[in-house]
A = this chain, B = another copy of it.
């Protein structure tokens, strides 16, 4: 068997320790599949003394991660530090400039600096593997880059953040509020102490930018993504969604439209019975739609030591076997920025919830606003009748433009009998 591929492992948190553990447990199997052994030659992490459940004896240890890029006995740098800038960025730049391929689980880094880093990699004849950056163990990066290479893709979407999916699934099952379920998720370790990266949709946006780059041949462009998180999703909306035949999921959606590439992250209603509606808890799923394949779905664990280490190992095996291709599936000079489709041009169906004074004529006023903007109502629920309390009116619309919908809601929100700003959730047609 050929010479081993020598790895420099930067970062020994959950994922880093998971990679070390995988190489120890399945190293022989991986070597057989990759055609060469993969050995950790050096590591870098902040605290040497922390127990990590993995034997690191005999490995060179650097306090400064950048030293891995310079170490002549490191062939590949595995960046598992995290963060869009700082050490992770410096290390990747240094490794690539030294002609060393990089394998990373860092979605933020690549979503923000992907085009620059891919160009640097190409310039030095190497590549960046980032299978672990999107949807954990699901090999969706390879699938989009290679498996579906013969397809003209029209839409790629998915449930890309396990924390949000866990929170939304738990809210539905228990009927509890976002705040209560978030607190529980934090206690269980499913959500960070500062959950904003997850629940505000930022993490999903990073992953979506990478999926879109692979699917549509454009540089990752986070700034073009319309991002909305799940903080405002209420138990009431989840209950109404169920009643109307929907689940609420935080989706990342990238879609080619006549106005350009639409990229958006937001809570979306998906019809119960569709495969994506059944992806619950911490699971992730990605759906790709192509002219040859039709619709394809991949689901699996989106996070955790094992799944993420599995994805890192796949990239390492590709490198070891000499199979690694261009970072984003084609030469950087062939990545073409696509015009961003304005969100107001989005067309789709909508769910709307209003809290109104329960008195005659309210519904007529609401219906008139909708009519004025050519919003056609598909279904409507107005059940509770209580003259002393605000009551909900819930409706779904037929397909309409976001511009018309926004104007209709502004007009409705200004009605005296409407007591709160209207709540709108987009319905994703699947």
Which A residues are closer than 8 A to B by beta carbons? 22, 25-26, 29-30, 32-35, 131, 136-139, 142-143, 145-152, 217, 273, 275, 278, 290-301, 306-307, 309-310, 312-314, 316-318, 321-323, 325-326, 329-331, 334
Contact = CB atoms under 8 A, between A and B. Distances in A.
A322 B105 CA distance: 25
From A150, A278, A310, name the one whose CB has the most chain B CB atoms within 10 angstroms: A150
Chain A binding surface SS class: mixed
A145 B142 CA distance: 12
A330 B151 contact: no
Contact of A32 (B131, B323, B334): B334
Given A293-B301, A297-B299, A143 B147 contact: yes
A148 B294 contact: no
A296 B142 contact: no
Contact of A145 (B33, B275, B329): B33
B307 A294 contact: yes
Nearest to A147: B139
A16 to B, nearest CB: 15
A131 B316 CA distance: 22
B313 A26 contact: no
A337 to B, nearest CB: 16
Contacts of A278: 273, 275, 278
Nearest to A143: B139
Nearest to A324: B323
16 contacts: A22-B292, A26-B150, A29-B152, A35-B331, A136-B293, A137-B292, A139-B146, A142-B142, A142-B143, A146-B323, A150-B316, A292-B310, A294-B301, A296-B299, A297-B300, A298-B298
Given A306-B291, A313-B149, A296 B137 contact: yes
Total identical chains? 2
Nearest to A297: B299
A88 to B, nearest CB: 22
Given A26-B151, A26-B152, A146-B317, 17 more contacts: A22-B292, A30-B150, A35-B331, A137-B148, A137-B294, A142-B147, A146-B314, A148-B314, A151-B313, A275-B275, A293-B310, A294-B306, A296-B298, A296-B300, A296-B301, A297-B298, A323-B323
A326 to B, nearest CB: 8
Given A293-B300, A299-B275, A299-B297, A33 B149 contact: yes
A170 to B, nearest CB: 17
Closest 6 CB pairs of A and B: A150-B313, A139-B147, A296-B300, A292-B310, A137-B293, A292-B306
A326 B329 CA distance: 21
From A131, A314, A316, name the one whose CB has the most chain B CB atoms within 10 angstroms: A314
A301 B323 CA distance: 27
Nearest to A131: B147
Nearest to A298: B298
B310 A151 contact: yes
Contacts of A331: 35
A309 B290 CA distance: 12
Contacts of A142: 139, 142-143, 146-147
Contacts of A326: 35
A34 B313 contact: no
A273 to B, nearest CB: 8
A368 to B, nearest CB: 42
